[in-house]
Amino acid sequence: MASLEDLGVSAFINILGALVFLILFAVLRIQPVNDRVYFPKLYLAGKRAATHDTRSAVRRFVNLNLCTYVRFLGWVPGALRMTENELVAHAGLDSAVYLRIYTLGLKIFLPITVAALLVLVPVNVSGGTLLSLRKEVVFNDIDKLSISNVSPGSNRFFIHLLMAYVFTFWTCFMLYKEYSNVAFMRLHFFASQKRCAEQFTVIVRNIPHVSSHSTSETVDEFFCRNHPDHYLGQQAVYNANRYAKLVKQRERLQNWLDYYQLKYERHPDKRPYGRTGCLGFCGKQVDQIDYYRARSSELEKRMASERQKVLNDPKAIMPVSFVTFDSRWGAAVCAQTQQSKNPTQWLTDWAPEPRDVYWPNLAIPFFSLSIRRFLISVAVFALVFFYMIPITFVQSLANLEGLEKVAPFLRPVIEVQVVKSFLQGFLPGLALKLFLYILPTVLMIMSKVEGYVSLSSLERRTASKYYYFMLVNVFLGSIIAGTAFEQLYYFLHLSPNQIPRTIGVGIPMKATFFMTYIMVDGWAGIANEILRVKPLVIYHLKNMFIVKTERDREKAMNPGSIGLGENLPSLQLYFLLGLVYAVVTPILLPFVIIFFGFAFLVYRHQIINVYNQEYESAAAFWPQVHSRIIASLLISHLTLFGLLGTKKAAYSTPLLIFLPFLTLWFHKYCKSRFEPAFRKYPLEEAMEKDNMERASEPNLNLKSYLANAYLHPIFNLFEVADKEETVEVRIDKAETEHQHQHHSEDHMRSSSQYHEETQLRSTHQTTYYHEESYHQESHVRSSQYHEGIHVRSDMDLPSPPHYVYH
């Protein structure tokens, strides 16, 4: 056990680090040159714009107003000024509810900390000898403040037991209140939401193939028959995979063309020349503007033929469709019921928001889904428990002997003893660091393989995988030394009643470790989050080497997002630490509280000024947060049970057994009470909104409103390419309202050319599907499109509906 002094030193270093970060942040954020790094959200929200201002060159990059340097915490009032409602309007409900997790942490742990410090610390300190405090001994050891100081068999464990009950009840009470609040906020959000496409839309997967019918016809027929009163139309999903690749290529070419044209404009005397080969070093010398123009027009021809192929090939139509209804009631009914006798066909569910859709996963068949999920769950288990094996393998490869063989010229350097020992210590660590760095990405890829169709569910799945990893490798792994694999072996060879005992004994001994962990990961880590070192560096690097146009600058601006996949699990780890140590080593609690308070401020600031809202899931992650905190409670009971078991507290320990059962029951109750608000949409609500809308806008043409909602982003490039077709797609759908019954006959007669036209003129909206992740960097993507359009934007196309969130 580290002494209080050791801990003090560690705290000093970390607080100093955090302060340095904050001061750096205070200085950097007010430099105009960093504006796009620290306020990207304001640019996206249109509250700031790239102005060609009249300030001097220096003033445009550096803030020379010295007054603004004084207050290094000047950002705090700004972060707190916004009310919750404004926050919901500014950054969405997800962000607002995410911040509530931090306030929940404060609400749970502040009273617990006060109670624990007032009651448990004196009890622990007095140890076996009640009321004979010896001050000189007490304060040089954390252990003296923890439950370890109470002598075995003492009746004082009743106090700990009582406090465990009090803490659990308090936590459950706060959880209940918060769940109820969030559920209310979600319902209120839906109720006050403006009309949007996903309210009327249902995603239908696994549409069966009927011979001599196209998918669109099958869908039309099925829904006309089974939802005759409410069915409105559908948007088929096309496999525009290769086309998307060509689009990307053309964008790149266009970018270069712009760059050279800009260059030529600035220096009209010098026509830009370059080589065509790799990086401009080899190949033929050509006029760059002519060269890129030629390649661009060639590519456009290939795109046109590919477009024909996508539209005419029936195999390009995926067995997935977005089906729209004429009322929220109709959509709610369709999403919540089973459609077909075969439960693997016609799977309906709420359509995610248009920007939340993860297109590549739309076409995975049902059977494959269940195999994928099985394989991924096996893989996650392996990853959690055996992740050290590949790393050890890599480490064994990346040793010095191997390095010497590959690069013999390095031998003299490596043979120097200092360098050698440094490398030997450094290389294995590097492999581990690299692994941990790419872990969230790996988990996200795994989630994508599982086949979820919305970004929000992908993030939630990633979060839960990451939580298991943290629980086993950070929490258990720290308590029981050794890798998770060794732990697994250890646990399998241990009798079940020994497991909580082993952990229970380890818990108080690791308190200082976790305090240090909280300071490093929680305090300094959060300060690093606000400084945004990585985006800052990358932005300036890009600015120096890559940025050619203003649009490129916009692209280089990476606002990022909250990153639920990573942040939820680490938050949940803090809840776990707080709850486990509340009874055992209460002195850890202030550290947790400081984390929650500080992180709340930082994330509030970041959400207001930095992060881009990629989608709106209306706090769909809350049930997960709730059940993880419940799980933390259960783990805390189990460890306390094990700990007391070693303390020979035979009278008090059995009383603890009711606590996990009560907690479980509470969880079940909450689940049935609140979870439906997150899974279903009540018909009462739907009907109410429908009626209100009908009363206020009796002449609303819903069909035209919904027409373009679930267009694949790639579709807009079709429009740019074929302007004459575009107009036809955007015709008022009301005119064709009852044509879809007749449409099938038209369809049968269609020649290849005619087919394309009817396709685009029909009531079915064509949505284009391609495999690559267009969403991973949603911001980048959308600015690309802005650019793509801007390039030829003398046409002045109206902004497509899914851009409204910029």
Question: Using the rule CB under 8 A, is 323 a contact of a copy of itself?
Answer: no
Asked if residue 548 lies in contact with residue 573, where contact means CB atoms within 8 angstroms, the answer is no
Among the listed residues 199, 509, 208, the one whose alpha carbon sits nearest the alpha carbon of residue 331:
199
β-sheet bridge partners, residue 274: 286
CA distance 94 to 82: 16
Q: Which of residues 204-263 bind a copy of itself (CB under 8 A)?
A: 222, 225-227, 229
Count Cβ atoms below 10 Å from residue 704 Cβ, excluding itself. 15
Question: Using the rule CB under 8 A, is 5 a contact of a copy of itself?
Answer: no
CA distance 579 to 633: 6
Residue 9 or 494: the one with the smaller Cβ distance to a copy of itself is 494
Count how many residues are written for the chain: 806
CA distance 211 to 214: 8
Residue 13 burial by Cβ neighbours in a 10 Å radius (0-12, 13-18, 19+): middle
Pairing of strands 231-239, 317-325: antiparallel
Angle at 169 between CA 164 and CA 172, to 5 degrees: 125
Residue 328 or 647: the one with the smaller Cβ distance to a copy of itself is 328
Pairing of strands 765-769, 231-239: parallel
Sole binder of a copy of itself in the list 108, 317, 333, 618 (CB under 8 A): 333
Sole binder of a copy of itself in the list 338, 368, 421, 741 (CB under 8 A): 338
CA distance 49 to 28: 19
Question: Using the rule CB under 8 A, is 177 a contact of a copy of itself?
Answer: no
Q: Which of residues 360-389 bind a copy of itself (CB under 8 A)?
A: 366-367, 370-371, 374, 378
Residue 502 or 778: the one with the smaller Cβ distance to a copy of itself is 502
Angle at 385 between CA 381 and CA 390, to 5 degrees: 105
Look-up of token digits 């009462």: 684
Look-up of token digits 């139509």: 317
Sole binder of a copy of itself in the list 495, 696, 699, 753 (CB under 8 A): 495
Sole binder of a copy of itself in the list 492, 695, 751, 753 (CB under 8 A): 492
Question: Using the rule CB under 8 A, is 180 a contact of a copy of itself?
Answer: no
Question: Using the rule CB under 8 A, is 627 a contact of a copy of itself?
Answer: no
Residue 432 or 687: the one with the smaller Cβ distance to a copy of itself is 687
Question: Using the rule CB under 8 A, is 74 a contact of a copy of itself?
Answer: no
CA distance 33 to 58: 10
Count Cβ atoms below 10 Å from residue 562 Cβ, excluding itself. 23
Asked if residue 102 lies in contact with residue 71, where contact means CB atoms within 8 angstroms, the answer is no
- Name the H helices within 193-236: 215-226
CB of 683 to a copy of itself, least distance (A): 5
Q: 661: which residues sit within 8 A by CB, 6+ positions away?
A: none
Residue 418 burial by Cβ neighbours in a 10 Å radius (0-12, 13-18, 19+): exposed
* φ, ψ at 324 (rounded to 5°): -110, 150
- DSSP symbol at 342: S
Tell me the two tokens of residue 451. 């086949």
* Pattern 186-215, a copy of itself, x by CB under 8 A: -x----------------------------
Sole binder of a copy of itself in the list 125, 332, 474, 602 (CB under 8 A): 332
Residue 147 or 335: the one with the smaller Cβ distance to a copy of itself is 335
Q: Which of residues 660-719 bind a copy of itself (CB under 8 A)?
A: 661, 665, 668-669, 672-677, 680-685, 687
Question: Using the rule CB under 8 A, is 344 a contact of a copy of itself?
Answer: yes
Residue 611 or 674: the one with the smaller Cβ distance to a copy of itself is 674
Sole binder of a copy of itself in the list 343, 390, 425, 482 (CB under 8 A): 343
3-state class (DSSP) for residue 469 = helix
* Pattern 449-488, a copy of itself, x by CB under 8 A: ----------------------------------------
Question: Using the rule CB under 8 A, is 757 a contact of a copy of itself?
Answer: no
CB of 695 to a copy of itself, least distance (A): 14
Residue 65 burial by Cβ neighbours in a 10 Å radius (0-12, 13-18, 19+): exposed
Asked if residue 345 lies in contact with residue 208, where contact means CB atoms within 8 angstroms, the answer is yes
* # residues contacting a copy of itself (CB under 8 A): 49
β-sheet bridge partners, residue 106: none
Q: At residue 749, what is the residue type?
A: R
CB of 225 to a copy of itself, least distance (A): 6
Residue 393 or 489: the one with the smaller Cβ distance to a copy of itself is 489
CB of 363 to a copy of itself, least distance (A): 18
Sole binder of a copy of itself in the list 3, 103, 296, 339 (CB under 8 A): 339
Residue 370 or 396: the one with the smaller Cβ distance to a copy of itself is 370
- DSSP symbol at 588: G
CB of 680 to a copy of itself, least distance (A): 4
Sole binder of a copy of itself in the list 189, 264, 491, 805 (CB under 8 A): 491
CB of 73 to a copy of itself, least distance (A): 42
- DSSP symbol at 454: B
CA distance 685 to 610: 34
* φ, ψ at 100 (rounded to 5°): -65, -25
CB of 194 to a copy of itself, least distance (A): 19
Residue 89 or 657: the one with the smaller Cβ distance to a copy of itself is 657
CB of 493 to a copy of itself, least distance (A): 5
CB of 331 to a copy of itself, least distance (A): 11
Among the listed residues 594, 581, 573, the one whose alpha carbon sits nearest the alpha carbon of residue 506:
581
- DSSP symbol at 283: S
Stretch that binds a copy of itself, among 70-78, 115-123, 318-326, 333-341 (CB under 8 A): 333-341
CB of 585 to a copy of itself, least distance (A): 28
Question: Using the rule CB under 8 A, is 350 a contact of a copy of itself?
Answer: no
* Pattern 107-146, a copy of itself, x by CB under 8 A: ----------------------------------------
Binding site for a copy of itself (CB under 8 A): 187, 222, 225-227, 229, 329, 332-333, 336-341, 343-344, 346, 366-367, 370-371, 374, 378, 491-498, 661, 665, 668-669, 672-677, 680-685, 687
